[in-house]
Amino acid sequence: MLAFLWNLGAFIVALGILITAHEFGHFYIARRCGVRVLRFSIGFGKAIWRHVGKDGTEYVVAMIPLGGYVKMLDERVEDVPPELQDESFNRKSVWARMAIVAAGPIANFIFAIIALYLMYLIGVPAVKPVIDSTTANSPAAVISLQQPQQIVAVSGQQVRTWEDVNLALVSHIGEQQLSLTLSPVSDLQEPSDTNGKTYALDIRQWHFDPDKESPISALGLHIYRPEIIPTLAEVVSGGAADKAGLKVGDTLVAIDGELISSWDAFVQQVKASAGKTLNLTIKRNGEQQILPVTPDSHLDTDGHTVGYVGISPVVPQWPENMQIELHYGPLESLSMAAQKTWQLTAISAKMLGKLFTGDVSLKSLSGPISIAQGAGNTASFGLVYFLGFLALISVNLGIINLMPLPVLDGGHLMYCVIEAITRKPVSDRIQEIGFRFGAALLLVLMSIALFNDFARL
């Protein structure tokens, strides 16, 4: 329940910030173009806060935080007194109307730059994208590794973190080939391909389910992780391990008389032993003892029954030369933020196009539940991660609003462009048909996104 409330709170905060940025873009440019703004609303439905400014605009925060709007004076909507007709939206030039409509999505991109600027100015810790092996018969199987190697470029695009790698890989979905440039791990903060080797990967058969795996693992890349020490950092109260008498600080030695070779091997054996008693040898205060443990039954993401005992190990430290901090000065942060926003925009637009061509599955669509979970998770990690999340969602909000659907800003821009070319406005009949089609398509996409959200729960 606490996690639900945290996610909900983070979702409301995130959506409130993003909607305010978007609607402020419309509001600001409308005012600059001489259009009278009647209402600036964050949310829909019943108002929970209302204020009328000196400018005559009614500022509202409404009950349902799933959108917002800027209501402008418009003769097509209501009767306008003759003395105010010059301040009507419909009386402005087509270019002024285009600027007002485009200002919302543009504000989303500007906000993304601001959020990322603050993130880079504060500094965000990360780890270098280092792999230690690959999966046989996978696209990455062509890579030969004798020791851990750092990924420094994906198809010629420099990458510094696993997030960079993930975004770069996703942009190649549906294509035939990509390349990975690997080099030995160095102490340098900036990646270098001076001693690197480039591998061409055939990805024609590369497919992955975003609900079950990442593009990194689906490609066959094994992320390097420091070896886990099997000393317990947490024992879940009431779990199988707790009932068996395990305590924080215990070190796992053997299971059914066989030495535990690795934490992963131990986890796999526990998963395969749901309801079966295991004799676990532990070391406590320098002495060994054997404790019988019967793993509880638990359903995994595939619906299979697996064993679960409720323990977690001490998290090892990453080697110094594999850690990195994305921290820059005021000017460099602005440059990096602009570059990152452009990268996110390009990748998001590319993915949206592949969604309609069928190269990307509709399963990848996410709705408000997934956004709420993402907001809650990143907020719990810290401000810098929440800022990065806000930037990503803001970019996607801007791109979606530019889609040429009449119910979105992109549809209004499309009508304005047609008017600018033909020198006459699109007929009300055609606009009405367009609005109905756009609303129906948007409803279908939102329904699929919601279905995916519930399927992931």
> For strand 221-223 and strand 58-72, is the pairing parallel, antiparallel, or unpaired?
unpaired
100 in Cβ contact with 302 (< 8 Å): no
Cα–Cα distance, 262 to 278 (Å, whole number): 17
The DSSP bridge partners found for residue 93 are none
- CA torsion 424-427-432-435 (nearest 10°) is -20
Contacts of 112 (CB under 8 A, 6+ apart): 337, 341, 344, 390, 391, 392, 394, 395, 398
Active site residue 23: yes
Cα–Cα distance, 40 to 27 (Å, whole number): 7
Cα–Cα distance, 431 to 299 (Å, whole number): 50
225 in Cβ contact with 305 (< 8 Å): no
Q: What three-state secondary structure class fits 155?
A: coil
- Which residue is catalytic, options 23, 78, 175, 320? 23
Q: What three-state secondary structure class fits 57?
A: coil
Quote the distance between the C-alpha of residue 216 and its chain's center: 15
Range list of β-strands (E), 143-285? 149-154, 157-158, 177-184, 197-202, 221-223, 229-235, 251-255, 258-259, 278-284
- What the block records as the tokens of 271 is 């998963």
**Among candidates 361, 62, 379, which has minimal Cα distance to 207?**
361
41 in Cβ contact with 50 (< 8 Å): no
- What the block records as the tokens of 101 is 């409509």
Exposed/middle/buried for 178, CB within 10 Å: 0-12, 13-18, 19+? buried
Cα–Cα distance, 223 to 184 (Å, whole number): 15
Spell 322-357 as b/e; 16+ CB within 10 A means b.
Answer: bebebbbeeeebbebbeebbebbbeebebbeebeee
- What the block records as the tokens of 65 is 């935080």
Q: What three-state secondary structure class fits 212?
A: coil
Residues labelled catalytic: 23
